[in-house]
A and B are shown apart, each in its own frame.
Chain A
Amino acid sequence: MDNDTGMIDRAATVAARATPPRLVRRVRGLSDKAIAWLFIAPTMILLLVINIFPLIWTIQLSFTNYRANRPNAEVVNVGLRNYERLLTDPDVWIAMQTTAQFVFWSILLQTVIGFSLAYLIDRKFRGHAFWTTVILIPMMLSPAVVGNFWRFLYQPQIGLFNYIVSFFTGVEPSSFEMLGSVSLAPWSIVIVDTWMWTPYVMLICLAGLRSIPDYIYEAAEVDRASPWRQFWSITVPMALPFIMLAVLFRGIENFKMFDMVNLLTGGGPGSITEVASITLKRQAFEAWRTGPSSAFAIILFVAVFGLANIYVKALNRVKQR
């Protein structure tokens, strides 16, 4: 009995010390229920005003031919025509494919490099904490501001990137243009994205590796399992939920990707690197086709929401461990 309440007593003493003696009253002030709603309501109201109301507005606009640069023009209800046109528009599908390819390659590279790095850092060599912090720096920086500077690194004649490539391969530095050529421009974005976000995947993978208890490896050692076997039967499966989590997070983020692409290539050359966000920006804020672009925004919402659902399921699985 005394043992059970020991902690409570200690906490009570701590609390009592801060309590003026006259405050021994039974009035509870607001009820718990009132406080719960009072505390949660401001957040909910803000999200309703800034997220939900605009979302409903977007849905409404997506059925019209409204143009934001002509607020006084007559608005006609066009029914589902915007959706029909978008879903049969080859350009939209090309933008979706471009997005999918960008997401696939950048995440593949980030996962492979990120997991390898995490595995190496988990060897716990001296100074690993310091080097981990150094490696993490790029992911904290502004993708727009740093992406903007990468334009300089990618300059064909004077850029450091071309110079380094030419230094190691002997290719003339002015003979290739990362941002300007149709075949290289997508890779220039994948490279910057990988540089920036590999640390993110690494950090999550590292947590996964560290969550594997030592005794499993000890048992495997007793059973004389080879290091190769240990890696594939213990390390990878046990870190897998974490790797999945990282992939899903990056998947959602890269699906929405705008900053880096807008600054590096702006969707060009032509529309080779035009990912969905860039198409949407061109339609909504350059062509001012507000109605159709609202429909496109809704299609993207639905897609991201689907991804989010998968993500929450994966998250719950990780939490159960």
Chain B
Amino acid sequence: MAKRSAPEVNAGSMADIAFLLLIFFLVTTTIETDAGLNRKLPPIQEEPQDPPPLKKKNIFQVLINQQNDLLVEEREMELGDLRQAAIDFLDNGGQGCDYCQGKGDAASSDNPTKAVISLQHTRETDYSTYIAIQNELVAAYNFLRNREANRLFGMSFTEMEADFNDAQYNGNKDQLEDKIGVIRDMFPMKLSEAEPKENN
């Protein structure tokens, strides 16, 4: 037999190995987007101003103590009931609210634009409890906003916001912004946070 040249080392599998590495890096370095509850802090007021006059019935008081217990409108409450209680309060429709579907209780809020949720906690309250309560209150607003957005525009409020933040959205953004504004005006998020009570 004739002498053959030495066979070339097959480098074809090298690509596979490199691909394997590539895929490994692609998978392990997934950039997870953070998500959370967006809030806006109020500016600091130089001089303490007199709080605007609010009827007591338009304030929904939520207190959290150092044992992470919840006191809502002077009654103890479980976290699971807070969302419904907040919805009932905001959606009460005592007067001047033609889209509310609540009972119209005279002792509860007049209308959602006047209703204020006041949240107060102690310095010993756990952050996780605080977030749970914030979450429930945001959920109450989202529920009502979604309901009205579905009724008026046939689309939920959270979808509208998601579309608005989506750079790829190819609809009319100005129109969408107007719609979001309408819903926001119907249920403005009025969440007042008092300075924490010193525990004595």
Is B one of A's binding partners? no
Instruction: Point out residues on A near B: beta carbons under 8 Å.
Output: none
Instruction: Point out residues on B near A: beta carbons under 8 Å.
Output: none
